[in-house]
A and B are shown apart, each in its own frame.
Chain A
Amino acid sequence: MYLIVVGGGKVGYYLTKTLVHEGYEVLLIEKSTRKCDIYTERFGAVVMNGDGAEASTLAAAGAARADVVIAVTGDDEDNLVICQMAKHRFHVARTIARVNNPKNEELFRRLGIDVTVNPTNVILSLIEQQIPDRHFVHLLALKHAELEVVEVSVDNDSPVRGRTLEDIRMPPETSMIAVIRGSEVIVPTGQTTIEAGDEVIAITRAQSELALRQLLIR
């Protein structure tokens, strides 16, 4: 398996280091000659100087036989173009882009990038899961349909406390899939009543997230 990593910042550096260590055939493309010299000294001949968005650089790197191109520069526009050039000119089967602005994840997927990695969202979801009194936690983002699974804590002030599900008007394309009450997991029906202290697990479309938040949390 041949992987091309574009962008020799901290992410690119440690990624290349790990991949080389795991025995993959890797090439790191980096714009700065100074960084290239340092990395070549550390990794050997797996570093190439150039602009990964330029077709001539990708051609010299052997992109045509690459299985994966991973763009991890600090600029979203560069990562997008690197992956699109790899795909459209060199027919690379899988492209992976780092996305710095969380809003660009959806756009990148629509524009044909196979996998997007967004450090901001990764850190945010870790924080949400670690800080206990957050009322609204993202558990899972389902890639293709813009769907997400969220966990919401219902407290005494919640507008839905004491109401049955059939009595609650859910936002569009949203449904409750489970209610966790103490150690009990309830698969809810229309007659299930929401109580204070419940943890509600719901599946929702990203556009309805705000409405769901306002519905369940005061």
Chain B
Amino acid sequence: MNVVIVGCGRVGARVATILDQGGHRVSIVDTDSSAFRRLPQDFGGNAVIGIGIDEDVLKSAGIEDADAFFSVTNGDNTNIMAAQLAQKVFEVKHVCARIYDPVREETYRRMGIVTVCPTTTIASLMLSTLTDS
């Protein structure tokens, strides 16, 4: 599977590493080259410096042949725009965006984008530890 990831923070680097180790072809995009330090030494994928909402940058990351796309920068709006580019322009089959703001997350989920909202997910995990103990 060909995968493009936008944002090489902790989550992006981890997703990239796992998919790379699983034998997939991974390209990861970040504006800051020092972010790629989070990738392991033996990372076999492609690291691209650039803005994840720029069509040309996404093309050089191989989005035209991508089967899956994840946007996990620290900006909700960047993730939302990148995901819509991947879905509407490049017609990537699986697109998923991280959106911190629960209201924005609900809005775009209703508009047909697969989303993960760390705020609601982590809050409910935290609360569930109460009932577990």
A binds B: yes
Interface residue? A176 (CB, 8 A): no
Interface residue? B80 (CB, 8 A): yes
Interface residue? B84 (CB, 8 A): yes
Q: Which residue of B lies closest to A51 (CB)?
A: B101
What separation, in Å, do the CA atoms of A53 and B56 have in the docked complex? Answer: 26
Interface residue? B20 (CB, 8 A): no
Interface residue? B89 (CB, 8 A): yes
Inter-chain contacts of B110 with A (CB < 8 A) = 88
The listed residue (A53, A76, A89) touching B53 by CB distance below 8 A is A76
- Also in contact, A81 and B103, with CB within 8 A (given A53-B76, A88-B111, A107-B88): no
Q: How large is the interface on B (under 10, 10 to 19, 20 to 34, 35 or more residues)?
A: 20 to 34
- B103:A75 contact, CB within 8 angstroms: no
Q: Which residue of B lies closest to A110 (CB)?
A: B88
- B88:A81 contact, CB within 8 angstroms: no
Interface residue? B55 (CB, 8 A): yes
Interface residue? A54 (CB, 8 A): yes
- B81:A80 contact, CB within 8 angstroms: yes
Smallest beta-carbon distance B2→chain A, Å: 22
- A75:B88 contact, CB within 8 angstroms: no
- B77:A78 contact, CB within 8 angstroms: yes
Interface residue? A18 (CB, 8 A): no
The listed residue (B56, B85, B89, B104) touching A81 by CB distance below 8 A is B104
Q: Which residue of B lies closest to A58 (CB)?
A: B103
Inter-chain contacts of B85 with A (CB < 8 A) = 107
C-beta contact mask, B29-72 vs A, less than 8 Å → 1, else 0?
00000000000000000000000011110000000000000000
Interface residue? B17 (CB, 8 A): no
Interface residue? B75 (CB, 8 A): yes
What separation, in Å, do the CA atoms of A29 and B103 have in the docked complex? Answer: 19
What separation, in Å, do the CA atoms of A81 and B110 have in the docked complex? Answer: 14
Interface residue? A103 (CB, 8 A): yes
Inter-chain contacts of A81 with B (CB < 8 A) = 76-77, 80-81, 104
Q: Which residue of B lies closest to A73 (CB)?
A: B77
What separation, in Å, do the CA atoms of A76 and B84 have in the docked complex? Answer: 13
What separation, in Å, do the CA atoms of A55 and B106 have in the docked complex? Answer: 11
Q: Which of A46-89 contact B (CB under 8 A)?
A: 53-56, 75-78, 80-81, 84-85, 88-89
- B53:A56 contact, CB within 8 angstroms: no
- B104:A53 contact, CB within 8 angstroms: yes
List the interface of chain A (C-beta within 8 A of B): 53-56, 75-78, 80-81, 84-85, 88-89, 101, 103-104, 107, 110-111
